[in-house]
Amino acid sequence: MSRTIYLLFFILLRELFIISPLVEASVPVNKLTMTCEHCNESVKCTEPITTDCPLPSEGKRNHCFVLWKLESNASATITMKGCFLNNEDCYNKSECIAKSHTPNNKLLFCCCEGNMCNQNFTWEPEPTPPPLAHEPIVEEHFPLKLVISISVGILVIVFVVAVYWYYSRRKPAFNEIPSEDASLTVPTMSFSGLRPIQLIEIKARGRFGAVWKATYKTEEVAVKIFPVQDKQSWMTEQEIYKLPHMDHPNVLHFIGAEKHSENMQVDYWLITDYHERGSLCDFLKAHTLNWSELCGVVETMARGLMHLHEEVPAKNGMKAKPSIAHRDFKSKNVLLKSNLTVCIADFGLALVFEPGKSCGDTHGQVGTRRYMAPEVLEGAINFTPDAFLRIDMYACGLVLWELVSRCTVQDGPIAEYRLPFEEEVGQHPSLEDMQESVVQRKVRPTIPQTWRNHPGLSALCDTMEECWDHDAEARLSASCFESVRMMSSYLQRC
């Protein structure tokens, strides 16, 4: 064992076993310790030196000590010698004698008072007194500890029974959807039985939960699992997916929702189609798009967002679909299908605008900071349906910028993928960073001239600028976004 280990052991021994409470006491003159033999890793203990002990504070004493190892042949190997400050166990000991009955790791320690008293040292273990005959050894505080243990056990049992009784009285039936707020609209869904779903692996983590790849019967599905505190987001997403006319090729296909309860822990599951390519953001990090692929993504994204924003009248016995604002539109919430078309997902913050009804007192400053429109960052939203829809359009312009930045038809080399404003505010901007850049300085992501050299990319650059206009009223509306779809179809033939 190295001397460093001995040193650490000595410090531990001193802290745990040797040092007793410090007490002030007068020091006899003949016991005053001023010098001790000294050795350690730097000074060989075969050739110790004399060292002066530091002057102790009033009421404290100096001592000398020896730390040595007891070898198998009963010889001693000195590890350390030196001065030792104020230990009551060392008081009035003129000789350095270790009293430990059993050496700890074959290490022994002794201390003494008086100049150079640690020149000589010895081990004189104190004998262990035998137990008294016919008298059992009883721990002094056994009755008290027994009473405490029994009392704690009884309290724990009472608490568990009380919790179980309260939970069983309060908890609804297993597959019933509880509601803390009577005003919440519970989707009219059947929870009579849970689907035989096997979770495989976590694919993503978001604001409201983790998304799992899973299997349902013979098909792959995605399962978004919400913790109990995010139940409202789970219910909001269901409400959006269950609206009339929401079965659209560019909106993520909804399969079902379930409540899972196990060991008094409740999770809420949202089951949808699974898309192996993942989000547009993740795809663009590792891949580029040619012109045809870019047009397909832009066109289907435009169709999906337009479908969300527009009202669909009642037809074929189905009720009308109201207008919907996503409120967290970004490349992470646009999923890429295997055929390189897209669908829009994640409606946990979405707002539904029923005809003739107000927007209510919803919180306006929600979403992802990087994609927040200037009026959201300022907290100056006009609480009308059209105002919320134009907030989505601002974010759509930023996603268009991400797409164009990874298109291969631009002149020059393709840059590494970057998030919008990453160059200006970094990867983790604060709200204040975004307010300063977007609101005060009116900064937008840079559009290089190399993008303008291609007629199709140039048209998309004009579109993104119209989308992220500082004046919300000047932005493209959902109905005008139809022109983007028409434009991309035309340019695809160029």
pLDDT at 5 exceeding the cut of 50: no
Neighbours of 14 (CB within 10 A): 16
Q: Is the CB of residue 124 less than 8 Å from the CB of residue 102?
A: no
The larger pLDDT score, comparing residue 104 to residue 117, is at 117
Q: pLDDT value at position 242?
A: 95
Question: Strands 107-112 and 62-70, how do they pair?
Answer: antiparallel
The pLDDT of 64-83, averaged and rounded, is: 85
Q: pLDDT value at position 163?
A: 58
Phi, psi of 39 (to 5 degrees): -160, 155
Question: Strands 197-205 and 323-325, how do they pair?
Answer: unpaired
Which two structure tokens, joined as six digits, stand for 224?
A: 């978004």
Helix crossing, 291-309 with 482-491: angle to 10°?
160
For 201-214, the pLDDT digits (tens) are 999 887 778 999 99
Per-residue confidence at 293, pLDDT binned at 50, 70, 90?
A: very high
If residue 222 lies in a helix (H) or strand (E), which one and from where to where? strand 219-227
Q: pLDDT value at position 259?
A: 93
CA 398/CA 424 separation, integer angstroms: 14
pLDDT at 197 exceeding the cut of 90: yes
Question: Strands 265-273 and 323-325, how do they pair?
Answer: unpaired
CA-based end-to-end distance of the chain? 79
Q: Is the CB of residue 242 less than 8 Å from the CB of residue 322?
A: no
pLDDT at 270 exceeding the cut of 90: yes
What is the architecture, at CATH level 2, of domain 276-491? Orthogonal Bundle (1.10)
HEC per residue, 439-476:
HHCCCCCCCCHHHHCCHHHHHHHHHHHHHCCCCHHHCC
- Per the prediction, the chain carries an average pLDDT of 81
CA 286/CA 195 separation, integer angstroms: 35
Kindly give, in sequence order, each residue whose CB lies less than 8 Å from that of residue 383, ignoring residues fewer than 6 positions away.
Answer: 358, 359, 362, 364
Long-range Cβ contact pairs of 486-489 (< 8 A, separation 24 or more): 487/459, 487/463, 488/295, 488/298, 488/299, 488/302, 488/460, 489/295, 489/299
CA 42/CA 256 separation, integer angstroms: 73
The pLDDT of 332-338, averaged and rounded, is: 96
Which two structure tokens, joined as six digits, stand for 375?
A: 């009026």
CA 467/CA 458 separation, integer angstroms: 14
Q: pLDDT value at position 249?
A: 96
Which two structure tokens, joined as six digits, stand for 271?
A: 């089951």
pLDDT at 429 exceeding the cut of 70: yes
Kindly give, in sequence order, each residue whose CB lies less than 8 Å from that of residue 30, ignoring residues fewer than 6 positions away.
Answer: 114
- Number of helices and strands (H, E) in the chain? 12, 16
Kindly give, in sequence order, each residue whose CB lies less than 8 Å from that of residue 462, ignoring residues fewer than 6 positions away.
Answer: none
For 356-384, the pLDDT digits (tens) are 777 665 666 789 999 999 999 998 888 88
Of 3.40.718.10, 2.10.60.10, 3.40.50.360, 1.25.40.10, the CATH number of 3-123 is 2.10.60.10
Is residue 248 packed enough to be buried (19+ CB in 10 Å), middle (13-18) or exposed (0-12)?
Answer: middle
Choosing from 267, 328, 346, 469, which is the catalytic residue? 328
Q: Where are the domains of the chain?
A: 3-123, 196-274, 276-491
Could you tell me what percent of the chain has a pLDDT over 70? 76
Provide the whole-model pTM.
0.61
Per-residue confidence at 481, pLDDT binned at 50, 70, 90?
A: low
Of 3.40.50.10140, 3.30.499.10, 3.30.200.20, 3.40.190.10, the CATH number of 196-274 is 3.30.200.20
Q: Which of 32, 100, 31 is nearest to 66 (CA)?
A: 100
Chain-centre distance for alpha carbon 326 = 25
CA 123/CA 106 separation, integer angstroms: 12
Sign of the Cα torsion 63, 69, 74, 76 reads negative
- DSSP state, residue 17: I
Q: Which of 335, 312, 309, 296 is nearest to 392 (CA)?
A: 309
Q: Which of 95-99, 180-184, 477-481 has the lowest mean pLDDT?
A: 180-184
328 is catalytic: yes
User: Strand, helix or coil at 354?
Assistant: coil
The pLDDT of 457-486, averaged and rounded, is: 81
